[in-house]
Amino acid sequence: MNEWFECSVRYEKTLENGMQKYVSEPYLVEAMSFTEAEQRFIEEIQPFMAGEYEVKAVAKRKISELFEDDKELADKWFKCKVAFVTLDERSGIEKRKMQTMMVQASGLWDAVKRLDKVMGCTMADYEIVSVSETAIMDVFHYKEKEASHGE
């Protein structure tokens, strides 16, 4: 089963005014291990890096769902905490199971609407606990490696 890793890269970026500045940018990478996440991350970002860069961090993230949007305006990623509400039949106590989901949207209200629309299709009772904008620049999904054929 694949997991999500947040990978950060630090590199020298040319700003709009022509000045050079070191920046760190986080990305999400779907992989099976830390090693694979770092390797795939480097493969994905290398074509876009002019000059030196350094992978500063690779950290596992507990993300249960990721909802992408193909609209061009949806250029931000939002971290959403959702509580699934169930009732314990024996004790009659309400239980809440927290899940973290990522939603791509153009703004905060758009993220809430998109999450509510997707979650509205489920049979489970839920509450949106929090929605916050992240600095995630892009998401790289898992890709099966092609089998190499010997000659």
pTM for the predicted model, two decimal places: 0.86
Name the residue type at position 102.
M
The pLDDT of residue 1 is: 61
Stated as kind and residue range, the H or E segment containing 3 is strand 3-14
The pLDDT of residue 4 is: 97
- What size, in residues, is the chain? 151
CA 144 distance to own-chain centroid = 19
What domains, with CATH codes, occur in the chain? 1-61 (3.10.20), 62-134 (3.10.20)
Which residue ranges in the chain fall short of pLDDT 50?
147-151
For 36, the token pair is: 């694979």
Phi, psi of 73 (to 5 degrees): -70, -20
Handedness of CA 43, 46, 47, 48 (dihedral sign): positive
d(CA 102, CA 130): 12
**Nearest CA among 60, 57, 45, 61 for reference residue 13:** 45
Q: Contact, 127 vs 17, CB < 8 A?
A: no
**Nearest CA among 82, 140, 71 for reference residue 110:** 71
Q: Is 134 helix (H, G, I), strand (E, B) or coil?
A: coil
The pLDDT of residue 124 is: 85
